[in-house]
A and B are shown apart, each in its own frame.
Chain A
Amino acid sequence: MTIDKNARYRTSHEYARREGASIVTGISDHAQDSLGDIVFVELPAVGKVLKQGEAFGVVESVKAASDLYMPLSGTITEVNAALQGDPALINKDPYGAGWMIKFAPANAAEWDGLLDAAAYEKEAGKE
Chain B
Amino acid sequence: MNLKPEPLVYELSSPGRIAVSLPERDVNATPIPASLARTDLPLPELDELTVVRHFTRLSQKNYSIDTHFYPLGSCTMKYNPKVNEQTASLSGWRNSHPLAGDEFSQGSIELIHRLQETLREIGGFEAVSLQPAAGAHGELSGVFMIRAWHQARGDVKRRKMLIPDSAHGTNPASCTMAGLAAVTIPSDAEGGVDLAALRAALDDTVAGIMITNPNTLGLFDPNIEEIARLVHEAGGLVYGDGANMNALTGVFKPGEAGIDVMHFNLHKTFSTPHGGGGPGAGMVGAGSKLKDFLPGPLAVLESGTYRMRMPSKSIGRMKSFYGNFGVLVRAYTYVRMLGAAGLRRLAENAVLNANYLKVLIEGTYPVKYPRRCMHEFVAMGDIAEGVHTLDVAKRLIDYGFHPPTIYFPLIVSEALMIEPTETEDKDTLDEFAEALLKIAEEAKSHPDLLHAAPSTTPIGRLDEVAAARNPVLCYRG
Residues of A within 8 A of B (CB): 34, 37, 39-40, 60, 62-64, 66, 87-88, 127
Nearest CB in chain B: distance from A102 CB, A: 25
Task: Give the docked Cα–Cα distance between A63 and B468 (Å).
Answer: 11
Contacts of A87 in B (CB 8 A): 469
B468 lies within 8 A of A39 (CB): yes
Residues of B within 8 A of A (CB): 406-408, 410, 413, 464-465, 468-469
Nearest CB in chain A: distance from B367 CB, A: 16
Selected A-B contacts with CB under 8 Å, 20 pairs: A34-B413, A37-B465, A39-B465, A39-B468, A39-B469, A40-B468, A40-B469, A60-B468, A62-B464, A62-B465, A62-B468, A63-B406, A63-B407, A64-B407, A64-B408, A64-B410, A66-B410, A87-B469, A88-B469, A127-B413
Contacts of A66 in B (CB 8 A): 410
Q: Nearest 10 CB-CB pairs, A to B?
A: A39-B468, A63-B407, A37-B465, A62-B464, A39-B469, A64-B410, A62-B468, A62-B465, A127-B413, A34-B413
Task: Give the docked Cα–Cα distance between A62 and B468 (Å).
Answer: 7
Task: Give the docked Cα–Cα distance between A66 and B464 (Å).
Answer: 18
Contacts of A34 in B (CB 8 A): 413
Task: Give the docked Cα–Cα distance between A40 and B464 (Å).
Answer: 13
Contacts of A37 in B (CB 8 A): 465
For the A-B complex with A37-B465, A87-B469, A127-B413 known, give 8 more contacts whose Cβ atoms are closer than 8 Å. Answer: A34-B413, A39-B465, A39-B469, A40-B469, A62-B465, A64-B407, A64-B408, A88-B469
Which residue of chain B has its CB nearest to the CB of A62?
Answer: B464
Task: Give the docked Cα–Cα distance between A66 and B469 (Å).
Answer: 17
Nearest CB in chain A: distance from B203 CB, A: 17
Task: Give the docked Cα–Cα distance between A39 and B464 (Å).
Answer: 10
Which residue of chain B has its CB nearest to the CB of A40?
Answer: B468
Task: Give the docked Cα–Cα distance between A64 and B407 (Å).
Answer: 8
Contacts of B465 in A (CB 8 A): 37, 39, 62
Task: Give the docked Cα–Cα distance between A87 and B348 (Å).
Answer: 47
Which residue of chain A has its CB nearest to the CB of B415?
Answer: A63
Task: Give the docked Cα–Cα distance between A62 and B464 (Å).
Answer: 7
Task: Give the docked Cα–Cα distance between A76 and B334 (Å).
Answer: 57
Contacts of B408 in A (CB 8 A): 64
Task: Give the docked Cα–Cα distance between A101 and B407 (Å).
Answer: 27
Nearest CB in chain A: distance from B371 CB, A: 20
Task: Give the docked Cα–Cα distance between A23 and B166 (Å).
Answer: 32
Nearest CB in chain B: distance from A26 CB, A: 19
Task: Give the docked Cα–Cα distance between A87 and B468 (Å).
Answer: 11
Contacts of B464 in A (CB 8 A): 62
Nearest CB in chain B: distance from A79 CB, A: 19
Task: Give the docked Cα–Cα distance between A87 and B470 (Å).
Answer: 12
Contacts of A60 in B (CB 8 A): 468
Task: Give the docked Cα–Cα distance between A37 and B470 (Å).
Answer: 13
Contacts of A39 in B (CB 8 A): 465, 468-469
Task: Give the docked Cα–Cα distance between A39 and B465 (Å).
Answer: 7
Task: Give the docked Cα–Cα distance between A23 and B408 (Å).
Answer: 33
Which residue of chain B has its CB nearest to the CB of A88?
Answer: B469
Contacts of A40 in B (CB 8 A): 468-469
Most buried by B among A37, A40, A66, A88: A37
Contacts of B410 in A (CB 8 A): 64, 66
Nearest CB in chain B: distance from A88 CB, A: 8
Which residue of chain A has its CB nearest to the CB of B408?
Answer: A64
Task: Give the docked Cα–Cα distance between A88 and B410 (Å).
Answer: 21
Task: Give the docked Cα–Cα distance between A63 and B381 (Å).
Answer: 14
Task: Give the docked Cα–Cα distance between A66 and B172 (Å).
Answer: 12
Nearest CB in chain A: distance from B416 CB, A: 13
Contacts of B407 in A (CB 8 A): 63-64
Nearest CB in chain A: distance from B405 CB, A: 12
Task: Give the docked Cα–Cα distance between A64 and B405 (Å).
Answer: 13
Nearest CB in chain A: distance from B176 CB, A: 12
Nearest CB in chain B: distance from A100 CB, A: 18
Task: Give the docked Cα–Cα distance between A97 and B269 (Å).
Answer: 48
Task: Give the docked Cα–Cα distance between A88 and B408 (Å).
Answer: 22
Nearest CB in chain B: distance from A67 CB, A: 9
Task: Give the docked Cα–Cα distance between A37 and B390 (Å).
Answer: 13
Which residue of chain A has its CB nearest to the CB of B468?
Answer: A39
Task: Give the docked Cα–Cα distance between A50 and B469 (Å).
Answer: 29
Contacts of A127 in B (CB 8 A): 413
Nearest CB in chain A: distance from B182 CB, A: 10
